[in-house]
Amino acid sequence: MGPHKQARKPGRRTRVATEPGTGLLFTKILATLGPASGSIDSIESMIAAGARAFRINFSHGTLEEHAVTLANVRAASERVGEPIAVVGDLCGPKMRLGQVVDGGVTLATGTRVEFSKTDMLAVAPAEGEPAVFSTTYSDLVDEVQPGQRVLLDDGKVSLTCIGHEGYGEARRLLCEVLHGGTVTSRKGINLPDTELSTPALTDRDRECARFAVEHGVDFLALSFVRSCTDVAQLRDFLRQLGVPGGRQHKGDTTNEPGERPPIPVISKIEKPQALDDLEGIILESEFIMVARGDLGVEMDVADVPVIQKQLIRRCHEHGRPVIVATQMLESMIAAPNPTRAEVSDVANAIIDGADVVMLSGETAVGQWPVEAVRMMNRVATRTNDFRRSQTATVSTPREKETQAAALAHGVASMTRGLDARLVVLWAEFDDAVIHLSQSRLGIPILACCSKPDLLRRVQLLHGVKPVSMDEPADPAEFLKRTDVLVQAEGWAGLGDSIIYVYSVRQEQSSLSNLVYIHQVGSL
């Protein structure tokens, strides 16, 4: 195992990673936790290496185990003094094979395979007989039609449906093997050509969402989204649990006193059907994840890079942040260094405009989780240095009807004209922070706030640094306190220009935004 396993003395504060020259991170890193990385020390080391959010995958482990992992994240966050976000990733209707005999069953090209509605142990068939498997989704037998593909184990084994046999619970799906291989228990099933009746939100997802609300998880990722209706189902369930918010609530998405904090929804694009309702999904979601794993199985893998670029562009047109995920540094599961192609993949995702890049197996089960985060942070830093050295281009979201979007557009123009060093805002309201981040100012944004849940949520926003601060009495006090802070932390020096944004809550739930220019040390 990697050197990250060395223990630290209790209470020792770890130096948190920053980008050279700015002291702050731009592209954010989301790391998946698992057996290789769930301890407090490992999480603390990954934060020091550059991780600002962690993913808990509800597809694996028990809720009791996830509660321990979440507590470890909060403990590590407290140790290093950095707010850290947690993303709960719902399983969705992921179909898997049932139990298969130890050693697996080898399927030869051209042979026949059958799928049963009843649970059973799949064994190697007698000569001339078909292999028979059960699945976690018995309706598969009825819904897959002749000529449609059935892909096993991320497409390593592919079948085509040739018909059905029997009735009722005895009915079976008949397939022919197109590309053979060995399959084992619980391997995933993909049905790229089949319209499924199963909802995106399963009973298991509801159980996990309830856990997420009760334990203060900061984001929920919804798997296998096919339309905006899938996202709306999760929204409705969260509201039943007392969680406010949703994209239909423009402007303030924070919680009132005594109310549960909002849980932004991350829609994972990994089904071809999602591309048919992409506009609706983007508008219904706070974040979009380009989940290239299942997307690359269900579609021609050659299309995935183009889809990634198109998704990122469409999301930024609507002011939605984007996460790019899956196999970014895959070789680091077993090796301390990535391939050159993987490094280029991460860099190109950032150049395309990804707000967040995600590590999956690299940190969940890999031998080098800390090194994987550190490498991704190095690539992100170099790539962002390159982007800032080029001619600045400012994102111009289509969604201009909100006050926050108009404010961000104005601030972006001011930062370019004044060669400002920082944007500093009082960030009690989500939308202003999101739109400033999406404007790609090329300089850091300090989001000052007194609410721990909001401080954690902004960690998934490009270029935003959360700063915990008691609410100032007025804008003058805010300016004085932050003037001292930016000099003490080395974020700005005497005479540097800073753009301040201060939102004041008025009567009848309206907002008044103050924007002003300040030279550091001029008070």
pLDDT computed for residue 413 by the predictor: 87
How far does CA 330 lie from the centroid of its chain? 17
Distance CA 291, CA 327 (A): 10
Residue 293 binned pLDDT confidence (cut-offs 50, 70, 90): confident
Phi, psi for residue 237 in degrees, rounded to 5: -65, -40
Q: Is pLDDT at 248 greater than 80 in this prediction?
A: no
pLDDT of 164-219, one tens digit each?
999 999 999 999 999 999 999 989 999 999 988 888 899 999 999 999 999 999 99
pLDDT computed for residue 11 by the predictor: 44
Residue 505 binned pLDDT confidence (cut-offs 50, 70, 90): low
Averaged pLDDT, 302-321: 94
Q: What is the DSSP string of 412-427?
A: HHHHHHHT-SEEEEE-
Averaged pLDDT, 385-392: 71
Averaged pLDDT, 149-168: 95
Averaged pLDDT, 489-494: 92
Phi, psi for residue 163 in degrees, rounded to 5: 150, -170
Out of 164-173, 243-252, 444-453, 464-473, pick the least confident: 243-252
Q: Is pLDDT at 7 greater than 50 in this prediction?
A: no
Averaged pLDDT, 101-124: 95
β-pairing verdict for 356-359 and 422-426: unpaired
Report the SS3 class of residue 381: helix
Averaged pLDDT, 136-160: 94
Q: Which domains does the chain have, with CATH numbers?
A: 23-93+199-388 (3.20.20.60), 95-190 (2.40.33.10), 403-519 (3.40.1380.20)
Distance CA 237, CA 223 (A): 15
Q: Is pLDDT at 8 greater than 50 in this prediction?
A: no
pLDDT computed for residue 251 by the predictor: 40
Residue 240 binned pLDDT confidence (cut-offs 50, 70, 90): very high
pLDDT computed for residue 76 by the predictor: 98
pLDDT of 396-425, one tens digit each?
555 455 777 788 888 888 988 888 999 999
Stated pTM of the model: 0.89
Q: Is pLDDT at 383 greater than 90 in this prediction?
A: yes
Averaged pLDDT, 61-88: 97
pLDDT computed for residue 378 by the predictor: 96
Strand partners, 151: 158, 190
Which distant-in-sequence residues (6+ apart) come within 8 Å of 397 by Cβ? 316, 317, 318, 319, 405, 435, 438
In the chain, pLDDT over 90 holds for what percent of residues?
Answer: 71
pLDDT of 16-32, one tens digit each?
665 544 457 899 999 99
